[in-house]
Amino acid sequence: MRTVRFFALLAAVTVGLAVTGWQIAKSRTYQTFGELISEVHTESRLVALTFDDGPAPEAVSKLLPVLHEHGVKATFFVTGAELERYPEAAAALVAAGHELGNHSYSHPRMVFISQAKVASEVERTDELIRAAGQLGDIHFRPPHGIKAISLPYFLKKTGRRTVMWSLEPDSGSQIASSSNTITKHVIDNSKPGDIILLHVMYNSRRASLEAVPGIIEGLQLQGFQFVTVSELLAEESSR
Ligand SMILES: [Zn+2]
């Protein structure tokens, strides 16, 4: 009887540790190693608009004129695999003054992953980002937002910063089918220093793409200015 109880306790503790580990790995504001940024502390009415995945040429060609028309500089966390497929789309983003960030090569769940595999996912993508013409720092955003131990250890060791987000109007359980819902969520909740995450690259995310003009116009009416992640980070270090 005692043995049964012991094993029941052991199982409960194991499950508890696994759940806690997973919550830490998915946390927007904590990781085991290195610097993690999910927002910037500033009084200035600055926000960063960030787009994950891609670059997909169709979405990029729709987005570029919208950003240009409103004088917005954005940050695109792109994958190496798609950079290789669509180098012109990536080069067009850089040429228009937008920032590229590293979102890994193949968008894997980076859990129980070797240092060699992490290095190849990150470094291969950095090289492609450089080939697209990007200068300056290249920030990293973990695919699926998962930062288990091997990934942050590598990022810290190589002096890279992890950039998460503070507003996610179209993620997880909040996936909205209506662009109005997405726009409203951002307009009602933005504060200075926010990093806004949107997924606009694929056809399944049309509502997000259509939400962009409303988000920009709504926040500009509130006096917000859109800057790249690097510009937002510079704001914090200049305080
Ligand atoms: Zn992603």
- Of residues 47, 55, 101, the one with CA closest to residue 77: 101
Find the 134 Cα to ligand 1 centroid distance in Å: 20
Higher pLDDT, 134 or 31: 134
Cα–Cα distance, 207 to 176 (Å, whole number)? 8
Cα of 107 from ligand 1 centre, angstroms: 6
User: Which residues in 173-187 are b (16+ Cβ under 10 Å) and which e?
Assistant: eebbeebeebbbbbb
How far, in Å, from the CA of 202 to the mean position of ligand 1?
A: 11
Q: pLDDT digits over 25-57, tens only?
A: 878 777 777 778 999 999 999 999 999 999 999
Cis peptide before 57 (omega within 30 of 0): no
- Of the pLDDT bands very low, low, confident and very high (cuts 50, 70, 90), residue 238 is low
In this structure, what token pair is assigned to residue 35? 């610097």
Q: What's the CA-to-centroid distance between 65 and ligand 1, angstroms?
A: 23
Give the integer Cα–Cα distance in Å for 101 and 168: 17
Question: How much distance in Å is there from the Cα of 200 to the middle of ligand 1?
Answer: 11
Max Cα-Cα span within the chain: 72
Provide the pLDDT for residue 154.
95
The mean pLDDT value for 52-76 works out to: 98
Q: Where exactly are the structural domains of the chain?
A: 31-237
Q: Which two three-digit tokens encode residue 236?
A: 């914090």
pLDDT for the residue numbered 172: 65
SS3 label, residue 37:
strand
Per-residue pLDDT of 171-224, as tens digits, reads 865 556 689 999 999 999 999 999 999 999 998 889 999 999 999 999 999 999
Q: Please name the amino acid found at residue 41.
A: H
Are 197 and 167 a contacting pair, CB within 8 Å? yes
31-237: in CATH 3.30.230.10: no
CA distance 235 to 5: 56
> φ and ψ at 52, to 5 degrees?
-100, 150
CB atoms closer than 10 angstroms to residue 238: 7
What kind and span of H or E run contains 52? strand 46-52
| Residues known to be catalytic | 52, 199
CA distance 61 to 59: 5
- Residue 237 CA to chain centroid, in angstroms? 20
Q: What residues pack around ion ligand 1 (CB closer than 5 A)? A: 52-53
> Does residue 24 surpass a pLDDT of 80?
no
**pLDDT for 94 beyond 60:** yes
